[in-house]
Structure 1
Amino acid sequence: MTLSVLDLAMIVLPAAAYLDQYKKIHKSGDTGTFNPATCGVLLVCNIIRVFFWLARRFDTVLLYQSFVMIVAQLLLLELCVRVQHRRRRPSFQIKSLKDYTSAFWAWPHFSHYVAFCAALAGGLWLLHLMFGSSAAYADLVGAVALGIEATVPMPQAWNNYKRKSTFGLSWIVIMSWFGGDLFKIGYYIASGAPAQFTMCGFVQFSVDLIICYQIARYSVYTRIGSTASPVSTIKMGTSL
């Protein structure tokens, strides 16, 4: 199989978008506002996407994209766990299944996350052996994988809504989401990818539009007073 420049862009660029986040965390030694749950969402949906491909063979470019994203998110997650481990109390340990479940996705060691991903892949492999030939099963796996992936930008939109502010949110980041999701929709349609991919792209693109609207709407706070910031304006309003 010969990959075109467009194919390579589709494989690499979604994961490359997280390179800047990795560099910032590595340089500052702090995860800041980045939530490692984002890594979890992307790991789960891309692992499931691999088994979706096994059940319904679609464009291998999208399979390669999942593999690259899995590796990228594991690297980013390992860094987050390593950074957070320095601030975690030494007595915090996972000694039982109850500890493991109660501390879900806040585990102290990277090996716990790897074990979860391995267990997920193992369970999906067993399901594939039992139901892999079923078209209904393939549709269900695809819907679950892409349904989870579609939720990736939603926490940002919800956070903007709760704060009634987009202060500190980069237009460059949002426009990269906007352009990237639009590019993916076009690629999915042109390559004849399963409908789940296209629907996921439209959901993500819709959330991108919501965030762009929030930036335009909430930026009015920056015009209230020459020295008031969006955050301080909100605090003043809520205290009255």
Structure 2
Amino acid sequence: MLGWLASFSGYLTPVFLVLSPLLSYTDQAISMYKARSSAGFSLDIPLIMLVASLFRIFYYPGAHFDKALLVQSFVMVFIQLILLKVALDHRPGPSSKGGEAAVPFARAHDGGGGGLWEAPRPYRFWQWRSAKPYWHFVLYMFLGLAACELVLAPVHWLYPAYSALIGYTGLSVEATLPLPQIFSNARSRSCKGFRVSVLASWLLGDAMKMYWFFSSATQIPWAFKICGIFQAGCDSFLGVQYLMYGNGSGPAVPELVVKDHKMSDWPAAASAMGESEKLTMQMGVPHATGRDTPVGRRTSLADKST
């Protein structure tokens, strides 16, 4: 029975891993495109997956891990480029809720509230207002990795260490994938904008990867296993957040009340004022209506002037 299950998993899991980027992120891209807004979606997700996938592609010549993981990396780069394009095209303005000021790691004075993930980044990295720097970064990263591969591959005494370095770096970056969304959800106390289909595919993928990593007869480096365990824990916590916050819009902001009047009722309250009250408010002088004297009678303003 266990042998049959292992054999079935050996065929099914690689297919799922190859298709998982499409299954996970296509729905997210379509949702943002239809809503004409990427509010609630962290732009750091495409950043993390593009860096991790490109590093993993260039890790393959030195590690020769299972080809299904290599094909998955190419598919992931393709879908993340599309996702980044859609997210940038429909990015909300900084003043709107869930906009640029609400993404994780946004500057504290932009979004307020402070916190570790709201600290300013050097050169506003991956927080640029223009779309061009995002594409320039991806292109330069690819060209840099390709140049290092061509230069270091012939250096046999150095290349294994370099290959292991980019492999562990890429997989470590991928393991942090859920963190930006976790921070974003915690800050807004809402999972609005984050598709449950993405979460479900992450959790299902974690379960299948963990079983396959530790039961597969093919070559699976320990870097994949260690980072996979960490990512599975983060994805599980993201699921707990979804149960806690749901898909709501976060806590309501109490309406400001001035002098027993709600701000929404202020025009009506102002229209009920007398002309003298309006005049004194405009002049910044408190309106005097008289007060009780020690003997208990009302003293008018006319009496005071005499």
Deviation at 1:231, TM superposition (A): 4.1
Partner of 1:113: 134
CA distance in structure 2 between the partners assigned to 1:80 and 1:68 by the alignment: 18
Q: Is the 8 A contact 1:160 1:214 kept in 2?
A: yes
**Equivalent-residue separation in structure 1 for 2:40 and 2:185 (angstroms):** 13
1:74 Cα deviation (Å)?
A: 0.6
* 1:143–1:196 CA contact under 8 A, matched in 2: yes
Q: Scaled by the length of structure 2, what TM-score is found?
A: 0.59
Say which is worse superposed, 24-33 or 64-73, in terms of deviation: 24-33
Deviation readout 1:168-193 (Å, 9 max, x if unpaired): 57665434322211212223331331
8 Å CA contact 1:107, 1:113 repeated in 2: no
1:192 aligns with 2:219: yes
Q: What letter is aligned with 2:135?
A: V
Distance 2:238 2:85 in 1: 29
- Give the root-mean-square deviation of aligned CA atoms: 3.1
On the 8 A contact 1:182/1:201 being kept in 2, the answer is no
Instruction: Give the corresponding residue for 2:233.
Output: 206
Q: Whose Rg is larger? A: 2
**Structure 1 equivalent of residue 180 of structure 2:** 155
Aligned counterpart for 1:50 among listed residues 48, 57, 63: 57
Distance in 1 of aligned mates of 2:86 and 2:176: 23
Partner secondary structure for residue 90 of structure 2: helix
Contact 2:13 2:208 in 1 (8 A): no
**1:142 and 2:172 are equivalent in the alignment:** no
Residues 58, 145 of structure 2: 8 Å contact kept:
yes
Asked whether 1:77 is paired with 2:84, we answer yes
Distance apart, 1:53 and its partner CA: 0.6
Pair 1:68–1:109, CA change in 2 (3 A) = same
**Where does residue 70 of structure 2 map in the other structure?**
63
The aligned length equals 209
Which of 7, 26, 35 aligns to 2:14? It is 7
The answer for unaligned runs of 5 or more in structure 2 is: 1-9, 95-121, 255-306
User: 3-state SS of the aligned residue for 1:34?
Assistant: coil
Q: Deviations over 1:11-60 (max 9, x none)?
A: 11133211111111111111111122211111111111111012221111
Structure 2 SS opposite 1:31: coil
- Contact kept, 8 Å, 2:42 with 2:184, in 1: the verdict is no
Deviations 1:73-116, CA, capped at 9 Å, x for gaps: 111111222234x969xxxxxxxxxxxx8353325235x43332
| 1:29 paired residue number | 36
Q: CA distance change for structure 1 residues 205 and 5 in 2, over 3 Å: closer, same or farther?
A: closer
For residues 170 and 23 of structure 1, what CA distance do their matches in structure 2 show? Answer: 11
Q: Secondary structure at the match of 1:18?
A: helix
Specify which structure has the higher proportion of helix.
1
How far apart are the structure 1 equivalents of 2:76 and 2:196?
23
Mapped contact 1:56–1:138 kept (Cα < 8 A): yes
Q: In the TM superposition, what is the alpha-carbon distance from 1:137 to its structure 2 partner?
A: 1.7
Worse-superposed segment, 101-110 or 63-72:
101-110
Q: What is the TM-score normalised by the length of structure 1? A: 0.73
- Distance verdict in 2 for CA 1:49–1:167, change over 3 Å: closer
Distance 1:125 1:161, change over 3 A: same
Counterparts of 2:131 and 2:145 in 1: how far apart (Å)?
A: 24
